[in-house]
Amino acid sequence: DGGITQSPKYLFRKEGQNVTLSCEQNLNHDAMYWYRQDPGQGLRLIYYSQIVNDFQKGDIAEGYSVSREKKESFPLTVTSAQKNPTAFYLCASGHKAFFGQGTRLTVV
Amino acid sequence: GESVGLHLPTLSVQEGDNSIINCAYSNSASDYFIWYKQESGKGPQFIIDIRSNMDKRQGQRVTVLLNKTVKHLSLQIAATQPGDSAVYFCAENYYGGATNKLIFGTGTLLAVQP
């Protein structure tokens, strides 16, 4: 089945650690996006990529990094520079932004 | 600036009534708008979209209206059902420089009372 897959569903990070969230799609979409969602809030754009080997910062890129080496994959790294990383992270692909099921990251 | 906002953060309706969720956008250059439904703990699901050259688009039980004059978007849900209870987001496709990106509003919680 075609779709977009995020993993893991739940992730726990110790303070000072970098963690990488996976996002894979087999929809042949050029565009991919990463959003952050805090409880009771909307979606804020972290990074987006319109094509392989190219990506742009969104509204809250500080403390995050991405890569787009393959069309199918757009991993997000939450670095230790992100002071408040606990949130629900959503990846999307395509012009109509089909979303994955999200990764809930908690700092312990 | 660029922003998409919603007038009503919470909307409570009776089962069987029609629901109307509103959204304001600020960027005249946005050419495409989407409504999403998000259930608790899940990713947003695409509901319906509309291009800026249209005023109205209908789907199954849903209608999106676009008023470019006042930069307003609405989602109408007919005969609202308990399964419609969720957070609804509007998003605009904004062109900034050489790229475009989707900007989301805050969201409206729709609570359907049986």
pLDDT in tens, B41-57: 899 999 999 999 999 99
Interchain CB distance below 8 Å, B102 and A97: yes
Provide the chain B residues 49-108 that lie in CB contact (below 8 A) with chain A.
Answer: 49, 89, 91, 93, 99-107
pLDDT at site B4? 52
Q: Nearest CA of chain A to the CA of B45: how many Å? A: 7
* pLDDT given for residue B14 in this prediction: 97
* Residue in the block written with tokens 């050259």: B53
Q: Do the chains contact at A95 and B93, CB–CB below 8 Å?
A: yes
Strand partners, B94: B101
Q: Does B107 contact A102 at a Cβ distance shorter than 8 Å?
A: no
pLDDT at A95: 83
Residues of A within 8 A of B41 (CB-CB) are: 102
What band does B58 get if pLDDT is binned at 50, 70 and 90? very high
A90 touches chain B (CB under 8 A): yes
User: Pick from B67, B63, B78: which is nearest to B16 by CA?
Assistant: B78
- Residue A91: is its pLDDT beyond 90? yes
Cβ contact, residue pair A97, B100, below 8 Å: no
Chain B contacts of A5, Cβ < 8 Å? Answer: none
pLDDT, tens digit, 9 for 90 and up, residues A19-69 = 999 999 999 999 999 999 988 788 999 999 999 999 999 999 999 999 999
Model pLDDT, residue A46: 96
Least confident of A70-84, B75-89, B90-104: B90-104
ω into residue B9 within 30 of 0, thus cis? no
Q: Using alpha carbons, select from B33, B3, B21, B47 the residue that is nearest to residue B93.
A: B33
CA angle, B3 as apex, A48 and A35 as ends, to 5°?
30
Nearest CA in chain B to A58: B101
Mean pLDDT along residues A77-92: 94
Q: In this structure, what DSSP letter does residue B83 have?
A: G
Which tokens sit at B14? Answer: 């009776």
- Token pair for B93: 């496709």
Q: What is the DSSP letter of A30?
A: S
Do the Cβ atoms of A56 and B101 come within 8 Å? yes
Residue B84 DSSP SS3: helix
Q: How many CA atoms lie within 13 A of B94 on its CB side?
A: 20
CB B99 within 8 A of CB B2: no
The residue-averaged pLDDT of A7-11 equals 95
pLDDT of residue A51: 93
At residue B94 the predicted structure's pLDDT band, cuts being 50, 70 and 90, is: confident
**Residue B5: pLDDT above 80?**
no
Percentage helix, strand, coil, to 5, in chain A? 0, 50, 50
Residue A14 in tokens: 């110790």
The 10 Å Cβ neighbour count of residue A76 is 23
